[in-house]
Amino acid sequence: MGKPRLIILIRHAQSEGNKNREIHQTVPDHRVKLTPEGWKQAEAAGLKLRSLLRPDDTLHFFTSPYRRTRETTEGILNALTSSNPTPSPFPRHTIKVYEEPRLREQDFGNFQPGSQEMARMWAERAEYGHFFYRIPNGESAADAYDRVSGFNDTLWRSFGEDDFASVCVLVTHGLMTRVFLMKWYHFSVEYFEDLRNVDHCEFVVMKRSRENQKYILQNELRTWSQLRKERTEHKEPESPIPVRKKWGGFQDGDEKEFRRRQARRQNTADLFIDEVNELQQDEQVAVSSESGKTRARRISSDQYTGRYGSNPDLSDPLQRGGAARRKQSPQRLSVPEGGRDGGGSRSGAPSRSGSDTSDDPSRQPVRRSMAMALHGGLEGSSSPHRARADALGDQSEIDDEDAP
């Protein structure tokens, strides 16, 4: 037969998940079944398909393995092959049905979270972009596009088989229908995101042209931008039509939660180094302040030598003060080395507290944990701003007497 004359995509009928989204919190997505209204929609779709076919047509069905799509296919076949109201020219045994996992719904991450978290996720997806946004523990539309691309290649190769049907029916999902069309007709990402979803059991028909053998889309796809334009022209009251936003916005109260989820543990050694840098900066400020206070009272060595001679008379208060100042040197704060464990020396550098083999007890290293180092318990370190190590995740124990 070769290439089919028609390729028909049908979205599944109404499911329980369409009526109550919270069902996805307890029922796996692939096990969600049709509602009674959904069964009626599927049977009506079978009668519609019967009216589109020729008596000599043959059919191949490809369906997603999800329960709602398989039940939709069953409802379509029941009406298509029924003898009511008239005998059907399409016996059930002549119709081939294949389950195709690559036509399954976009993976939303196993059991879905509560409604509040889902609302946050949908708002985030609207801002990030429907095509590239990946559902946590699930898929993005781009991931679905990859597997649909593989299915399209398989389908195209099967067109070369002599026994391929004249009508190919794909029973799938709303997003997968749009992804299939995007791949087939090379839609842009922007146009894909502007497309509105197809209705339950809506037919999207691709008809082969006799002139060039290409498939012409028979439907006029609906877009959000067109709906927005129509409502603006008719001045209808505004309704929640999705509007693309720039990334970075959050719903009220969501930013804090988002940051908490995205927070990463900072390296503890880096935190220790930051404290050391802070001490060094405090030292520089102290030295600078001391220099500013004494600069007005200092006398240069040349002036001092020329005025009082090379040997100052310490009985003279002015000379005694100058000599004392010359003997003084700025006191450097004792800053512990930021070793790998936060309490020792840098790798390959001697500890300022001495070594483990030193005989002088006063030169022995301070045997405290990294928690005490960060807490300000190291010798020569008295910064009151050190965070407790247990707040950083360190498992070192802190004695009660060392707690603030």
Q: pLDDT of 339-350, one tens digit each?
A: 444 444 444 444
Element (H, E) at 61: strand 59-63
- What is the per-residue pLDDT for 345? 42
- What is the per-residue pLDDT for 256? 56
- What is the per-residue pLDDT for 109? 84
- Residue 265, pLDDT > 70, answer no
- What is the per-residue pLDDT for 81? 94
Q: Which residues pair with 63 in a beta bridge?
A: 99, 171
- Residue 328, pLDDT > 70, answer no
**Residue 352 CB neighbours (<10 A):** 14
Q: What is the mean pLDDT of residues 193-202?
A: 95
Residue 358 — pLDDT band, cuts 50, 70, 90? very low
Q: What is the mean pLDDT of residues 340-369?
A: 45
Q: What is the mean pLDDT of residues 201-213?
A: 94
Computed over every residue of the chain, the mean pLDDT equals 75
- What is the per-residue pLDDT for 170? 98
- What is the per-residue pLDDT for 254? 54
170 backbone dihedrals φ, ψ, rounded to 5°:
-115, 115
Closest CA to 249 of 113, 126, 139: 126
Rounded percentage of the chain residues whose pLDDT exceeds 90 = 45
Q: Choose between 52 and 357: higher pLDDT.
A: 52
| Tokens read off for 27 | 């029922």
Q: pLDDT of 19-63, one tens digit each?
A: 998 888 889 999 999 999 999 999 999 999 999 999 999 999 999
Q: pLDDT of 160-196, one tens digit each?
A: 888 899 999 999 999 999 999 999 999 999 999 999 9
Q: What does the alpha-carbon distance between residue 234 and residue 213 come to, in Å, rounded to a whole number?
A: 41
Residue 277 — pLDDT band, cuts 50, 70, 90? low
- What is the per-residue pLDDT for 366? 44
- What is the per-residue pLDDT for 108? 87
pTM for the model:
0.60
The residues annotated as belonging to the active site are 12, 71
Cis peptide before 85 (omega within 30 of 0): yes
- What is the per-residue pLDDT for 333? 46
Residue 400 — pLDDT band, cuts 50, 70, 90? very low
Q: What does the alpha-carbon distance between residue 299 and residue 290 come to, in Å, rounded to a whole number?
A: 16
Q: pLDDT of 90-138, one tens digit each?
A: 999 999 999 999 999 999 888 877 778 888 888 998 889 889 999 888 9
